[in-house]
Structure 1
Amino acid sequence: MLHLKLPVAVLILVSSSVDPPCPSAIMKFSLVAALVVVLAIGCESGSLVKRDIPAEIETLTKYFQDAIETVKSHELISQAQGYLEEGKTQITPLTDKIQEHAEKIQEQMKPFVSDIEKQVRPMADNLQAQFMPLVDKMQAQFKPLADDLQAQMEQLFQTVVDQTKALLPPQ
């Protein structure tokens, strides 16, 4: 009599949920269903012929574990794909708006940049005109010094070569 009341109570508990099943609810339902089957088999085995209960429990456990893993893997994959698609649909309009705003800002900045360039160009030309005589004057002063340094270095190199040849044995 116990085995008849237990499945009815489990069905009442399981059928009372209104929300769509989530992975944890499916897992709980599967565990409850496995428990009901095990209890039913246990109650039945006492009154009927003895069965190989551990083998049946092992088979049922494996069946429910495989079913749970299949549900989890398919559900997780589809849920992840759904999240990715949802994110993509949300980001695409935002990206388009950002691109549109960037183009508007660039168009608005063009007159300012050209005005700044028009104002800076004469100053840069003036600065270059003022510095070029200074650069030319400095170059004129350093050229004789550089030429003198080059001549001294060539003379030093020739001296080192001559002294090295003097140290070598005659051939």
Structure 2
Amino acid sequence: MKSSLVAAIIVVLAVAHGYFSPGLVQFLQYMGLPLSPRTYMEDSKTKIQPLLEKFQAEATKLQEQVKPFIASIEDQMKPLTENFNAQVRPLTDMMEKFFETVKDQTKALMPPQ
């Protein structure tokens, strides 16, 4: 971080004077600092790309390892949800019939239009 700040200051000073002396360019190269934002981005991409590929491979491997666990949980939950639905279905059917009756009675009370 500090070396990047130092390099940025040196570059700004050099640009302010209107030239890049060969000594400055050599110094920046010696420090391992890029000479332009484009170079910096390319260098960063080159350094990050292998890490990104490794991360992607590990994420894929983890996803494959977790699939059986998730399938097991789904298998355990299926009977519970089916049981819940079986118990709740009569109640929802009854409520549906009740609301239908209320709607029909309300329509019967309304004056004809």
2:48 maps to what in 1?
91
Displacement over 4 Å in runs of 4+: 22-27
Alpha-carbon deviations, 1:56-115, whole Å to 9, x = none? Answer: xxxxxxxxx9xx52538xx7xx71233222211111011001101110110011001100
Distance of 1:24 and 1:144 partners within structure 2: 81
1:146 maps to what in 2?
103
2:20 maps to what in 1?
71
**Higher RCO, 1 vs 2 (CA within 8 Å, ≥6 residues apart):** 1
For normalisation by structure 1, the TM-score amounts to 0.46
Alpha-carbon deviations, 1:115-156, whole Å to 9, x = none? Answer: 000001111111111111111122223322110112233x1x
For normalisation by structure 2, the TM-score amounts to 0.66
C-alpha RMSD of matched pairs (Å): 2.9
Displacement of 1:24: 8.6
- Does the C-alpha gap of structure 1 residues 144 and 89 become closer, same or farther in structure 2, counting only changes over 3 Å? same
- Does the C-alpha gap of structure 1 residues 108 and 23 become closer, same or farther in structure 2, counting only changes over 3 Å? closer
- Does the C-alpha gap of structure 1 residues 152 and 87 become closer, same or farther in structure 2, counting only changes over 3 Å? same
- Does the C-alpha gap of structure 1 residues 124 and 92 become closer, same or farther in structure 2, counting only changes over 3 Å? same
Structure 2, gaps ≥5 residues long: 1-9, 26-33
Q: How many residues align?
A: 92
- Does the C-alpha gap of structure 1 residues 116 and 24 become closer, same or farther in structure 2, counting only changes over 3 Å? closer
- Does the C-alpha gap of structure 1 residues 123 and 70 become closer, same or farther in structure 2, counting only changes over 3 Å? same
Letter in 2 for 1:71: F
Displacement of 1:26: 7.2
Q: Which one has the largest radius of gyration?
A: 1
